[in-house]
């Protein structure tokens, strides 16, 4: 009889443990679904804010996208594409005759707008894996004076871009594409 009670007690404990594992698994799935929903909401809100006429609102949106990319790498490819398109739209290369000249007051080159610089910073400091070899299209952009110190420029295509006065100090430049880019006054360029 004692053996039967012991067996029944063990069986009850196993059933209880199984139910607990199931409940924990179900709870974790619910947490994951909620987390993904919140991230999707933040992504959508940031996307809406990128279209704002206010530079500070766009800058906050760019930084929010960078935070999302850091939290959930599954969003990285789309965020990289969105930010590259944002830079191309907000900093297109202008004809040479209209190019900004060095600041006559001696402050250096004209700098990208804060929202464009923020997008550059997020792209240039993104986490990359060994299979991350997609080109980031920043062709024909106008980025004089861009701060790209300590940046990961691998797979960024700056063909035809204006990078006059940009700072590439300590930037990873192994697979950056700089064909036909304007590079006058660039600091930290490896040859």
Q: What is the pLDDT of the chain when averaged over all its residues?
A: 83
Q: What is the pLDDT of residue 104?
A: 46
pLDDT digits (tens, 9 = 90+) for 122-138: 999 988 766 677 889 99
Other CB atoms within 10 Å distance of the CB of residue 62: 28
pLDDT digits (tens, 9 = 90+) for 6-34: 776 766 676 777 667 666 676 667 766 77
| CA–CA gap between residue 31 and residue 29 (Å, rounded) | 5
Q: Is the pLDDT of residue 152 over 90?
A: yes
Q: Between 184 and 102, where is the model more confident? A: 184
pLDDT digits (tens, 9 = 90+) for 159-176: 999 999 999 999 999 889
Q: What angle do CA 180, 186, 191 make, to 5 degrees?
A: 70
Q: What is the pLDDT of residue 144?
A: 92
Q: What is the pLDDT of residue 102?
A: 53
Q: What is the pLDDT of residue 178?
A: 94
3-state secondary structure the chain: CHHHHHHHHHHHHHHHHHHHHHHHHHHHHHHHHHHHHHHHHHHHHHHHHHCCCCHHHHHHHHHHHHHHHHHCHHHHHHHHHHHHHHHHHHCECCCHHHCCCCCCCCCCCCCCCHHHHHHHHHHHCCCCCCCCCCCEECCCEECCCCECCCCECCCEECCCCECCCCECCCCECCCCECCCCECCCCECCCC
Q: Is the pLDDT of residue 98 over 60?
A: no
Q: Is the pLDDT of residue 89 over 80?
A: yes
Q: What is the pLDDT of residue 107?
A: 45
Q: What is the pLDDT of residue 24?
A: 61
Q: Which residue has the tokens 């987390």?
A: 35
pLDDT interval class at 41 (50, 70, 90): confident
Q: Are 129 and 178 in contact (CB under 8 A)?
A: no
Q: Between 103 and 118, where is the model more confident? A: 118
Nearest to 146 by CA among 82, 189, 97: 189
């Amino acid at each position: 009889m004692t053996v039967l009670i012991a067996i029944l007690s063990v069986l009850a404990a196993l059933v209880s443990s199984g139910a607990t594992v199931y409940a924990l698994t179900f709870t974790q799935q619910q947490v994951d679904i909620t987390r993904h929903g919140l991230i999707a909401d933040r992504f959508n809100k940031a996307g809406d804010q990128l279209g704002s006429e206010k530079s500070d609102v766009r800058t906050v949106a760019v930084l929010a996208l960078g935070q999302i990319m850091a939290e959930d790498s599954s969003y990285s490819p789309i965020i990289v594409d969105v930010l590259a398109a944002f830079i191309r739209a907000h900093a297109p290369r202008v004809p040479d005759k209209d190019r900004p000249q060095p600041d006559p007051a001696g402050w250096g080159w004209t700098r990208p707008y804060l929202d464009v610089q923020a997008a550059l910073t997020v792209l240039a400091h993104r986490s990359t894996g060994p299979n991350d070899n997609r080109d980031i299209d920043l062709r024909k952009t106008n980025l004089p004076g861009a701060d790209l110190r300590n940046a990961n420029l691998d797979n960024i295509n700056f063909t035809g871009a204006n990078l006059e006065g940009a700072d590439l100090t300590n930037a990873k430049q192994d697979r950056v594409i700089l064909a036909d880019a304007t590079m006058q006054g660039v600091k930290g360029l490896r040859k």
